[in-house]
Amino acid sequence: MSLPLLRAEASDEPYGGSSDANSPDLDSATLAYLERLTGRPCNRRLIYRIALTHRSLPHDHQGQKKHPESNQRLEFLGDAVLDLLISEHLFKLFPESDEGHLSSNRAKIVNRKALAAFAHELKLGEHLIIGESANRQKIRTSDSALADAFEALVGAIYLDQGLDGAKRFIMEHVITMVDLNRLIEEEFNYKSRLIEFTQSHQLPQPVYTVVAEEGAEHEKTFVIEVSCNGIPLGKGSAPRKKDAEQLAAREAMKRLENENIPLQRLRDNPEQESIALKS
């Protein structure tokens, strides 16, 4: 049993078969716009036209034997390509992150609001192909329509230029637009993550306590313990209290995520009860 092919090797138009480079379906201004965006010739122009076609256009041609195709199928494909390439980038950027945090960071980049913002920045709305019955101006600025078109465009670039072409586009028009420094800061802000964890599990807020100060005054090291409802969860030591708190929170997060600590113990009155810290 042979599997269906995904790119130009497939036999059915417009997603495969012979080149449609001479198709008149893209106007010259939009073609020039797309080639500036992608940095390459658009060899399969009909696919790009479909990527820009809002669902209102085929709606206007319902009942006709041949009617234009909307960008919804390409949106599906582009969504998968975006997920793959953004996932790969974050996988390399955060080598110590687990699946949950990688997924969380990906969601900050690949979401409807963010995709619409990328499309706004590229002025993609100006090139949407919209049905006559629709409110064209409203659709050209609609976050939903722009996010759909952005994903569809990624799908079209993948079909025309392959994964390398899609990656070039995403690196230039997505990754460079994202504040990766903020993402990195959030990824390693263990205090914030610990607060989010306690809030999401209806636990008391973590409390940080200086349990020791070591060394001479000019080179002092602070040892800080973080606890939840009086139960110690982690310790950290550093020359700055802020850094020691982050280290304590990191140890606490590792324990909470990996050691199966019964959370009910953190909700109950912890009198006479403690969880021994690992050395």
Tens of pLDDT along 47-70? 999 999 988 887 767 766 666 788
Shortest CA distance to 225 belongs to which of 235, 214, 233?
A: 235
Is position 164 annotated in a ligand binding site? no
Is position 69 annotated in a ligand binding site? no
What is the per-residue pLDDT across 140-153, written as a single tens digit (0 to 9) for each?
889 999 999 999 99
Catalytically active residues are: 79, 151
Structural domains in the chain, CATH included, are: 28-185 (1.10.1520.10), 190-267 (3.30.160.20)
β-pairing, 221-228 vs 231-238, is antiparallel
Of 278 and 249, more confident? 249
d(CA 36, CA 127): 13
DSSP single-letter state for residue 4:
P
Is position 196 annotated in a ligand binding site? no
What is the per-residue pLDDT across 173-217, written as a single tens digit (0 to 9) for each?
998 888 776 766 666 688 888 998 899 888 899 999 999 998 877
What is the arithmetic mean of pLDDT over 16-40? 73
